[in-house]
Amino acid sequence: MKQHLIVLDLDGTLLTDDKTISEKTKLTLEKAKEAGHQIMIATGRPFRASSVYYNELMLTTPIVNFNGALVHHPNNKSWQTIHSPMDISVVHDVVDSVDKYQYKNLIAEVMDDVYIHTEDQSMMDIFKMGEPNVSIGNLRKNLSDDPTSLLIHATEENVPSIRKHLEDVHAELIDHRRWGAPFHIIEIVKKGLNKAVGISHVAKDLGIPRDRIIAFGDEDNDLEMIEYAGIGVAMSNGIDQLKSIANEITLSNNEDGIANLLIERLKLK
């Protein structure tokens, strides 16, 4: 069988609800590698919060982080890193314009530096993975570099109105996605960035055509990736919008959905 590129989202897809990779899925991915296929991760997480899974699977491929704002190769420094941060002036405009909305917090990330607008232990718990450099205080004053991403933490009922505002006022300069439950967070990156953009760079580097890309996802930050892949697979626990455009729907992240589909598709014993 010709070489395929298998692309894995993390939360709600590769990872079970307890944030682990099941033994069956891990074994199946190892068999896929032995059969000559390439495996990569594409996630909204920064690398510091995804490296543990990259290393657990013993991957040797580039990785897409921050929903496409960072594409890099952890083990090959000669591979050209693609980092596409937002202009800081755009972030300042967004921060100013959402002040009239009720939100809980703002968080900016510059690679592995985290800037939190208001002190909040729950935010510290989310971002402590990988031991980043954390600064707490007014983003307008503390943030001096172009950020890789900006997060708006809001109540569930306020997320739609904030996203509509971002679409109405800032759509020409930014793209935004929402995190899955239980976090009601809007993630903002530079306009035109998404997982599919990052994957296209990697696929070109590996010499694997689009029709031999199998991508798995569950949330709205996977939409472009699932549409781009030759075989776009939605998890059964995924959102309806993703399922409606996917080529296939597999079992949930807690039921070895990735493993079951790959065993059948790639004829893995």
Specify whether 180 is located in the same domain as 51: no
pLDDT at 132: 87
**Last residue in a domain, options 131, 165, 190:** 190
Which among 219, 170, 215 is positioned nearest to 191, based on CA atoms?
A: 170
Specify whether 204 is located in the same domain as 246: yes
Q: Which tokens is 116 given?
A: 């939190």
Specify whether 184 is located in the same domain as 96: yes
Q: What is the mean pLDDT of the chain?
A: 93
Specify whether 249 is located in the same domain as 127: no
Q: Is the pLDDT of residue 180 over 80?
A: no
Assign residue 236 the CATH number of its domain. Answer: 3.40.50.1000
- Residues linked to residue 174 through DSSP beta bridges, in sequence order: 190
pLDDT at 201: 97
Q: Furthest-apart CA pair in the chain: how many Å?
A: 57
Specify whether 178 is located in the same domain as 210: no
Specify whether 98 is located in the same domain as 170: yes
CB atoms under 10 Å from CB of 158, counted, come to 17
Condensed to tens digits (0 to 9), the pLDDT of residues 201-252 reads 999 999 999 999 999 999 999 999 999 999 999 999 999 999 999 999 999 9
Condensed to tens digits (0 to 9), the pLDDT of residues 125-162 reads 777 777 888 899 998 889 999 999 999 998 888 899 99
Please tell me the total count of domains within the chain: 2
Which listed residue (9, 11, 175, 256) is catalytic? 9
The three-point CA angle 85-86-91 to 5° equals 140
Cis? peptide before 182, omega within 30° of 0: yes
Specify whether 13 is located in the same domain as 40: yes
What pTM does this model have? 0.93
Question: Per-residue pLDDT averaged across 54-70, rounded?
Answer: 97
Are 46 and 33 a contacting pair, CB within 8 Å?
A: no
Assign residue 135 the CATH number of its domain. Answer: 3.30.1240.10
The per-residue b/e assignment along 107-139, b for 16 or more CB within 10 angstroms, e otherwise, is bbbbbeebbbbeeeeebeebbeeeebeeeeeeb
Specify whether 71 is located in the same domain as 41: yes
pLDDT at 1: 84
Are 103 and 139 a contacting pair, CB within 8 Å?
A: no
pLDDT at 269: 76
**Residues recorded for the chain:** 269
169/141 Cα distance (integer angstroms): 23
**Last residue in a domain, options 155, 190, 225:** 190
Question: Per-residue pLDDT averaged across 40-45, rounded?
Answer: 96
Are 135 and 79 a contacting pair, CB within 8 Å?
A: no
Specify whether 183 is located in the same domain as 205: no
pLDDT at 124: 73
Q: H-type helices in 47-194, by residue range?
A: 51-56, 88-97, 121-127, 139-142, 159-170
Give the number of C-alpha atoms closer than 13 A to the C-alpha of residue 83, restricted to the C-beta side. Answer: 14
Specify whether 75 is located in the same domain as 137: no
Specify whether 126 is located in the same domain as 52: no
Q: Is the pLDDT of residue 22 over 90?
A: yes
Give the number of C-alpha atoms closer than 13 A to the C-alpha of residue 245, restricted to the C-beta side. Answer: 18
Active site residue 9: yes
**Last residue in a domain, options 147, 175, 190:** 190
pLDDT at 58: 97
Give SS3 for 219.
Answer: coil
Specify whether 151 is located in the same domain as 198: no
Range of the domain at 155: 88-190
